[in-house]
Every structure is written in structure tokens, then in C-alpha cells.
Amino acid sequence: VFGSGTVQVGATVPAAAPYGERHKVAAHLQNDARGRLVPALHRARSPELEPIHECPASDALAWDLVERTVELLNELPHRAWDPWFAPNELLRSVLVRTTTLGEAHLVLVATRPEVPGLDDLLDDLHEAGATSISVNCNDGDLARLLGPKTERWSGPEFVMEPLAGLRYRIAPTAFFQTSPRMAERLVEHVVEALAPGPDDTVADLYCGAGLLTLPLARVARTVFGIEANVRAIVDARATAAANGLRNVAFHAGQVADALAACRRGELPRPRLVAMDPPREGLGSDVVEGLRQLRPARLAYVSCEPATLRTDLLALAAAGFRATAALPLDMFPQTALVESLVTLEPAR
């Protein structure tokens, strides 16, 4: 998988509580036998929902707020949406993102943008711990948690998370690691793996809200991030400005297009590259773009071992060799693992 050469495999970085607690909890809504709303999660690799009554791997505030929200929603006449048995119902999921500062953004996912009666619950939801409350409209695919439009109903538009000496602004639908303290460890290892100097240009692909971009900007000459989620780019720019970082730029768009722009000279040609792609992985066009740019070092963060294997084979064929691999136990008591692999051009 790793190509020729020696690969240094680090010991797993453990995540003892509270380091691995999930600060983002998404519970789907289900109608029980009495017709009441209950929180539920999908069975592994199945659309079937299973009611849940506790979530020990989650931040206590996040899970308590989920439970209280479901309890309050039962005061309204709305029931849970089901693509087969209740396709015309309104409520789909409850999403909560908490921070280490004690903030909590509650997002109610519904099939329509209006949730009649929700205004009557706002005070109780704030009392339960929600600092912000939003409604996301998702009338589409079962496999998609969130739809394209989110409307704030009460409280600030975002929460703030201190991490690695920076304060990140996070919108409710923007990607951000769910375990802030282990994310801090991840950032440290990525910066160490790339080891940027004061003359280096760094690209952060799939940058989200700038989790890796901004710490890299503190030690590199210049850094730019690429992300398809426009909301995340807005947050990343605001976070950079709030932290006084002026040597960083963020661009909304597809990663393959950005790499092509680097080759044409429309974006800087990076010497170092960080990348944290979605579960689908890089794709052949991104691998080809990296092959043509041939950066001196890559730091690949992956949450999906099967995809990571596929991409490492493709990167090996494109002329890169893995030099180090480090698994991180981001989510204790679950089957999930985060991996950081460092690659360099094959000699």
C-alpha cells in the first residue's frame, strides 16, 4: 500500500475522556408505538433506525440537549418523517454542536423551512442549554443529514471554539472535528509532519473552517485553503481576521480546480500540502493534480481506512511514498479511527 521505502508507524494516540467526547451529536427522529417522538440512530450500514436512550461517547451537554429537545417537540403536533411510512411528516433530526466554552448550537432538521409552534419552545430550549437555535430544511435523500438552507431562529449565528491557541468561528452546517481536544492533538501532529518553515507556501485541501490552515499559517510564509462549502469559507475568513492572521487566504471551490489553478499560476504553487478529504477520498483528478504539482510533502488526514488504502495506492502510482502513519483514537468506545499519513515524492 505504501510503495517502496520504510514507513514509520506511530503508536495510536489515545483519547481518554474528555479528549474524545463528541461535541457534535446528530439524532434522527422516530415515531414510537405510541406515536411519540424518540431519538434514534441508524444501524450500522443500514437505513433502519434504532431508538437510543443514552450516548456515553458524547459530550453530556450535547446529549442532554438532544433529549430535552425531543421531549419538547412532543408538545407540538408534528411527527417524524419517514421516506416509506410517513413521507409527508415534518421532523427529521436534531443536531447539536457544543464547544468547550459551554456554547451549544441546536439545529432542527425538517422537511420544510417552517416549523409551526417552534417559537413557543425557544425559551425552554435556551433554558436547556441552547445558545443558538436554527432550522435546516432537508426534503431530499435519506442518506443526507442536512439540506442546503439553514435559518437561524434565535441566538448568535455561530459558536466559538478555542483550539491550538486560536478561536474558531463555527457555523451550524460547517465541517469541524467533533472532538475539539483530540482535534488539537491532530493539529499538532499535522504541523509536525509538514514542518513548514518561514519561506514555505502551504495548501490546505478540503480545509473546512480552517482547522489545519490557521495553525499552519502561524509558522509558514503563506497558506491557502480550498473548500467547497461556502459557509465554512466565510467562517474561516472571519476566524483568520479575528486571530490577526494576514498570510492566509481561503477560496471556495473544488480541489481539482484549485490544483489546476496552481499549475497555471493563478494560485501559489505549494511546497507542502495538507488534506482532509470527505469519506469518498481524493478522486483521480485530485491525485493527478498532486502528481503534476509534486509537492515536497503531503499530510493526509483520513476518517475512512478503506478509502485511505485506495488513495494511498493511487498516490503511490502517482509517484509518492508514505513515510509515516499515525492512527488517532478520536472517538473512544466506537469503531472509528482517524489516521494521519505523511507522504513524500518517491526518489
| Set 55, 137, 207, 303: catalytic member | 303
* CA dist 170 → 108, 165, 178, 191 (Å): 17, 16, 11, 21
What letter does residue 58 receive in the DSSP assignment? Answer: B
For residue 269 the three cell numbers come to 504553487
Contact status, residue 119 vs residue 141, Cβ threshold 8 Å: no
Q: Kindly report the three-state secondary structure assignment for every residue of 60-129.
A: HHHHHHHHHHHHHHCCCCCCECECCCECCCCEEEEEEEECCCCCEEEEEEECCCCCCCHHHHHHHHHHCC
In the residue annotation, 262 being an active-site residue is answered as no
Query: How large is the angle between the packed helices 305-317 and 284-293, nearest 10 degrees?
Result: 40
For residue 121 the three cell numbers come to 419552545
Return d(Cα 70, Cα 269) in angstroms, integer: 49
Return d(Cα 52, Cα 24) in angstroms, integer: 16
Return d(Cα 154, Cα 115) in angstroms, integer: 14
Q: Which residues are part of the catalytic machinery?
A: 303
